[in-house]
Amino acid sequence: MSEFEGIKQYPHSNEAEQAVLGALILDPNRFSDTAGITEEDFYTDTHRAIYSAIRNLYTLSREIDVVTLVEEVRKSFNDTDLDAAKYIKTICDLATENSNINEYVRIISEKSVLRKLIDASRKISEKAFDGTGDVKNIVQYSEDLVFRIADERYHTELTHISDTVKENYARYQYLSRNPNSYSGVKTGYSELDRYFISLAEGDLVLIGARPGVGKTTFALNLALNVGLRYPKKSIAIFSLEMSKEQLVNRLVSCQALIDNYTVKKATFTDEQWGELAEACSKLSGTEIYIDDTANVSVTDIVTKVRRLKDPGLIIIDYLQLMRGESHKDNRVLEVGDITRSLKILAKDLKVPVLLVSQLSRPPKGLKEKRPQLQDLRDSGSIEQDADIVMLLYREGYDSGEGEKNNYTDNSQKTVECIIAKNRHGSTGTVNFAWYGPYFKYVEIDESYNKEKENEQ
């Protein structure tokens, strides 16, 4: 018994728990009415054991009566005395056909939530009294405990297909009249949007590339496009490698079309000062937020994103620098936990999460240098959890050796964006022009190129 229990008794309803167990023994078919609770929601160990035994028998389609239930309790929970048997018989004697089982389930559920909140409060108090560690981390820990209770409890029930069909049909009608109102956010690149329509709510989108190709810049270009197109939506950028000053320099360079060297040195001409002021004004008008905390975890990201108003896109750069909550002795399992948690985050918050990832370098002697899904580092679950996977390829940058002259060469480079996975449609390749000094990606109009070829 904790000191909390010694002061006050934990919230529970013995009568409601007995009524539910009795109703289930009397009519096992009512078990489906208890879908909103588990054995952990019962207050006493005896009630938990009985409910778990009923569930086991029900799942195996076996007859449920006093004899089978007592035997299941003894077999599953090593109960050797007769107390459980006597108690089950007492519940059976008290049991009556009860139409209020749904109400009793609600009471059990709510009492369970209250107990969990009390336990969470105790843990938070211990952390606060201890006073060690960063206060921000304690606040994040506290928020995560409470949000986890809510996420575990308030889940959706099964939905009949007719309800969803009606909702979708109404949405089809609305979209046909309002073609620009599709949920999610458009990338700002027409060819990409033809593959995805938009980065949809709940999508986990992965951008993979080898060192020096420009995956961070591509993610920043997407953030800038979304920020300018949707000025009221919040875009969160979590940069585990670069500082917020470096990222903003790149965004300014991209928007103003002033080379990054000039931006960093601030050696602007009179004309460039005007372009700089206009670019800074446009950037300031967006709802882009940057966090450059190193070694960030999924819990940290969840806590910070929940505070944003109307989040439209979350960008994390990059996966291999993230810290997992468990499996720290096995990086493959740790990365798997991270990607699954990010997919859950995207789904729960109804926002696309864009995750940048490092790709393995190709073996020496391999003729085909273009990246493939199997080049994703550390975990096969990355491919499994992602809804969309885009792999960037720039000829000559397979091993990262070409990065020295990457951002000073004014010539246009072609970057292939290979859509290797797309749960919403087909796969393919979209070509971009890469302008290194401005950290800018420009979509190549393939139809225009074909017209020019035909003219010649």
Residue 234 has pLDDT above 70, yes or no: yes
Domain annotation covers residue 266: yes
Residue 3 has pLDDT above 60, yes or no: no
Please count the structural domains in the chain. 2
Identify the pLDDT of residue 404.
43
Domain annotation covers residue 167: no
Question: Containing domain of residue 246, as a range?
Answer: 194-455
Mean pLDDT of 297-311: 83
In our burial notation (b when 16+ CB lie closer than 10 A, e otherwise), range 275-309 reads bbeebeebbeebbbbbbbeeebbbbbbbbbbeebe
Considering the domain architecture, whether residues 143 and 20 belong to the same structural domain is answered as yes
Domain annotation covers residue 180: no
Identify the pLDDT of residue 405.
44
Count the alpha carbons within 13 Å of 199 in the hemisphere toward its beta carbon: 32
Domain annotation covers residue 168: no
Considering the domain architecture, whether residues 121 and 230 belong to the same structural domain is answered as no
Choosing from 39, 143, 201, 241, which is the catalytic residue? 241
Considering the domain architecture, whether residues 18 and 86 belong to the same structural domain is answered as yes
The pTM for the full model equals 0.66
CATH number of the domain residue 341 falls in:
3.40.50.300
The answer to whether 199 and 185 have CB atoms below 8 angstroms apart is yes
Residue 83 has pLDDT above 50, yes or no: yes
Considering the domain architecture, whether residues 218 and 140 belong to the same structural domain is answered as no
Domain annotation covers residue 106: yes
Considering the domain architecture, whether residues 414 and 286 belong to the same structural domain is answered as yes
Considering the domain architecture, whether residues 146 and 218 belong to the same structural domain is answered as no
Considering the domain architecture, whether residues 68 and 15 belong to the same structural domain is answered as yes
Instruction: Using a pLDDT cut of 70, give the percent of the chain over it.
Output: 84
Considering the domain architecture, whether residues 203 and 86 belong to the same structural domain is answered as no
Mean pLDDT of 56-70: 81
Residue 369: DSSP 8-state:
-
Identify the pLDDT of residue 374.
81
Considering the domain architecture, whether residues 297 and 412 belong to the same structural domain is answered as yes
Domain annotation covers residue 342: yes
Catalytic (active site) residue 103: no
Considering the domain architecture, whether residues 293 and 218 belong to the same structural domain is answered as yes
Which residue, 36, 35, 31, is CA-closest to 53?
A: 31
The answer to whether 108 and 36 have CB atoms below 8 angstroms apart is no
Considering the domain architecture, whether residues 42 and 137 belong to the same structural domain is answered as yes
Domain annotation covers residue 134: yes
Domain annotation covers residue 210: yes
* Cα separation, 291 vs 281, whole angstroms: 21
CATH number of the domain residue 116 falls in:
1.10.860.10
Identify the pLDDT of residue 158.
65
- Which of 103, 135, 154 is the last residue before a domain boundary? 154
Residue 296: DSSP 8-state:
-
Considering the domain architecture, whether residues 251 and 302 belong to the same structural domain is answered as yes
